[in-house]
Each structure stands twice: as C-alpha cells, then as structure tokens.
Amino acid sequence: MKRVEVTRCWTGLCSMQVCAIPDATDEEILEICNKENPSGTELGWGKVIREIEDVLGGNKGMLPGPCKDFPGRIHYLVFC
C-alpha cells in the first residue's frame, strides 16, 4: 500500500478522502490528490483538514480519524 491512497474521490462538492500514514505531509497528500484525482478547479486540491481550526463551521465529523481496515493509518479530508 502506498503512503497516501485516495479512498473516496468525492465526499462533497469540494472535498475528497485519503488514507495515509500518520507522518504524511500536507504537501505529499496534496500532490497525490492533484495527480490521481484532479478537482477540476483552477487551484486544485489545496487544504488537508488536520485540526478543528481547519474546518469551516467547526464540524468535528470532518476531523481525521483512524482507518478501520488498516490500523495505524488515518483518513483525512482534503478540500479544493
């Protein structure tokens, strides 16, 4: 399995989900997202949600969570 895997191409109008190892950087995640699943917007995927301060409206359901299929990996939401 790669360090970063696209798991859901679209989770909303401008979001997608990836499964990654805990030390994957935002740059690494965004590079994979923009390469494997381009957003179709001019700026592409540009924000990895890591903390509540990153979430519009403070929706805690958007925060990273553990992967149920591969222990030790984390699911992140990415926004364009």
Report the pLDDT value the prediction gives residue 30, as an integer from 0 to 100. 98
CA 42 – CA 62 distance, rounded (Å): 24
Position 9 scores a pLDDT of 94
Q: What is the pLDDT of residue 26?
A: 98
The string of pLDDT tens digits covering residues 37-77 is 999 899 999 999 999 887 777 778 889 999 999 999 999 99
Say whether 9 sits in a helix, a strand or coil: strand
Q: Which residues pair with 13 in a beta bridge?
A: none
Q: Tally the domains of the chain.
A: 1
**Structural domain of residue 9, as residue ranges?**
4-79
Burial category of 43 from C-beta neighbours within 10 Å (exposed 0-12, middle 13-18, buried 19 and up): exposed
Which pLDDT score, from 0 to 100, does residue 50 have? 93
CB atoms within 10 A of CB 32: 20
